[in-house]
Homo-oligomer: A and B are copies of this chain.
Amino acid sequence: MGNPATLKKISTQLNLSISTVSRALKNHPDISESTKRKVKELATLMDYEPNAYAVNLRTNKSKVIGLIVPSISNMFNDSFIAAAEKEGREKGYTLMILQSGDDPVQEAENLKLLKQYRVDGILISVVTDSYAITSFEKFSESGIPILFFDRVPSTIKFDTVCMADEEAATLAANAIINYKKKNILALFGNEELSITKKRKEAFQAVFDESKEKIKLQVAACKSSDQAMRVVADALLHNKPDHVFCMSDELLIGAMKAIHQAELKMPKQISILAISNGFIPSLYSPEITYIETSGFELGKLAMRRMLENLENKTEPKAIILPSRFVEGGSL
């Protein structure tokens, strides 16, 4: 007891060589059926499990994919992780998950660690998409493929998988116009993130091109609380008939203000959000939203990575289309 079984222990007990035991367990044709049987029996009896470290050392493949996210506890990331884990597992890969906590230094350390573990590939959502990617370029020269997801640097040197940010915003804007909304309050997040810029520009572009006479007020909110205050204030003054939220965080704040004002959806005020769908389902009526599914993204990202592991291809930018999900708030 204590130390786990090894090929050697099995081999000495059976008076066989290590190589024979190894081959027997792998159904190598060179080994006779009778010894295969004996070996396998003893192996299961001894609860033998191959030492992954020895295997990886020998084969130079770890069957582990590294995953770096700013934070695990975030509705988007966790569904991404869940999907990636599931997708990878089906092909025999496991996940090593690291948090960078919005700290570039920690992020760099994470990369080092994953390199030490000789992971076969890395999935990463960077802490900020504005800084230099030379460190990643240098890193990828070491032979470990990197795939960026969600928050991606703007370069074509790497595989990227992200949401159709512009498309989602355009979809949202068109829906709002179709529903004949005339006085709109649109909430956007941290303006330093490229995702915010993209969504905002696409959103506004639709209204700029529209012939309709529509009043559009755009607000940048850095937190849920700020969104609540902005909406509460707007409700008192310019009385919008529609509020658009580009993220769950903002939606939460907006809904608090709306509840406090005791407004009824969708009659007195209508809502549209960009979300993965969980938060919208908490309200009654449920919030209509443009879906950006972390789950789908995780599936796609892992799939792409595995594809690349099998036969290296050119870097590709994959964009996950978004779709309109009817709630009762619009």
Q: How many whole Å from A112's CB to the nearest CB in chain B? A: 6
Bound together, the chains give a CA A51 to CA B65 distance in angstroms of: 16
Q: How many whole Å from A215's CB to the nearest CB in chain B? A: 27
Within 8 Å CB of A113, what residues of B? 94
Interface string of A97-125 (1 = CB under 8 A from B): 11101000000000011011110000000
Bound together, the chains give a CA A142 to CA B283 distance in angstroms of: 49
B85 adjacent to A79 (CB under 8 Å) = no
Q: How many whole Å from A138's CB to the nearest CB in chain B? A: 8
Task: Decide yes or no whether A136 CB sits under 8 A from chain B.
Answer: no
A94 adjacent to B98 (CB under 8 Å) = yes
Bound together, the chains give a CA A239 to CA B125 distance in angstroms of: 49
Task: Decide yes or no whether A205 CB sits under 8 A from chain B.
Answer: no
A96 adjacent to B99 (CB under 8 Å) = no
Bound together, the chains give a CA A64 to CA B282 distance in angstroms of: 37
Within 8 Å CB of A284, what residues of B? 255-256, 259-260
Task: Decide yes or no whether A204 CB sits under 8 A from chain B.
Answer: no
Q: How many whole Å from A47's CB to the nearest CB in chain B? A: 6
Bound together, the chains give a CA A54 to CA B117 distance in angstroms of: 10
Task: Decide yes or no whether A128 CB sits under 8 A from chain B.
Answer: no
Interface string of A258-290 (1 = CB under 8 A from B): 011000000000000000000100111000000
Task: Decide yes or no whether A194 CB sits under 8 A from chain B.
Answer: no
Return the chain B residue nearest A80 by Cβ: B73
B72 adjacent to A99 (CB under 8 Å) = no
Task: Decide yes or no whether A132 CB sits under 8 A from chain B.
Answer: no
Return the chain B residue nearest A119 by Cβ: B52
Return the chain B residue nearest A286 by Cβ: B256
Task: Decide yes or no whether A49 CB sits under 8 A from chain B.
Answer: yes
B72 adjacent to A81 (CB under 8 Å) = yes
> Top 4 A-B pairs ranked by shortest CB distance?
A73-B82, A256-B284, A78-B78, A72-B82
What are some 27 contacts across the A-B interface (CB < 8 A)?
A1-B143, A2-B142, A3-B143, A4-B118, A50-B116, A52-B53, A52-B116, A52-B117, A52-B118, A53-B53, A53-B62, A53-B117, A53-B118, A72-B85, A73-B78, A78-B78, A81-B97, A82-B99, A85-B98, A94-B96, A94-B98, A94-B113, A96-B96, A255-B282, A255-B284, A256-B284, A259-B284
